Amino acid sequence: MSYFVVLGVIGLVVVGASLLVGDVLDGLLDAVDGGGGWLSAPAIGGFLAAFGFAAALAEPSLGTGAAAGVGTGAGIVVGAGVAVLTRALLRMRTDPTPRTADLVGRVGEVLLPVGPARLGRVRVTHLGQQLQLSARADEPIPVGRQVVVVEVLSPTAVIVTPTGLDQGVLP
């Protein structure tokens, strides 16, 4: 077995390890590249794997020195591609994390009657998700009425008030 194949296998092991403990490996590499994200475990693993396997394929026909050059070229292309993709994924913008405090002002619907001495149930849509929450109110509110969340008591409980939009709805 060629040394080049061994390097290729080591590269695959580094890529596999980066999937399992990538944060630890990348944390160590951040000290080297200043946290820029260009030097990452997947990029190093990709470079080693491409270098090793490309050089192993080229060695029988080109010889060791030229095969090392072919492997270096392949490693740079693959390593740089992986670094660019990894950096892009890590810096990708995402939606903000939903917070229960964001429920204040949201309109919902009463599922189980709500009142001052009665813990009811409401459905509120927030960031495209329908949430069912325990609810209290200063006045009795029947099933089917629209309500507005005025206070968040906990991640699963809110205080609501009628919206006034559906005053004609019968309990």
How far apart (Å, rounded) are the C-alpha atoms in residues 72 and 115? 72
The tens digit of pLDDT for each residue in 17-61 reads 877 776 666 666 665 555 555 677 788 888 889 889 898 888 888
Sign of CA dihedral 15, 54, 65, 5: positive
Q: CATH 2.40.50.140 region(s) of the chain? A: 100-162
Tokens for 55, please give them. Answer: 């050089």
* CB contact at 8 A, 67 and 55: yes
The tens digit of pLDDT for each residue in 135-147 reads 999 999 999 999 9
Assigned fold of 100-162: OB fold (Dihydrolipoamide Acetyltransferase, E2P) (2.40.50)
How far apart (Å, rounded) are the C-alpha atoms in residues 105 and 3? 65
Percentage, residues of the chain above pLDDT 90: 20
Number of other CB atoms surrounding residue 138 within 10 Å: 13
The tens digit of pLDDT for each residue in 63-104 reads 888 988 999 999 989 888 888 887 787 778 877 777 778 888
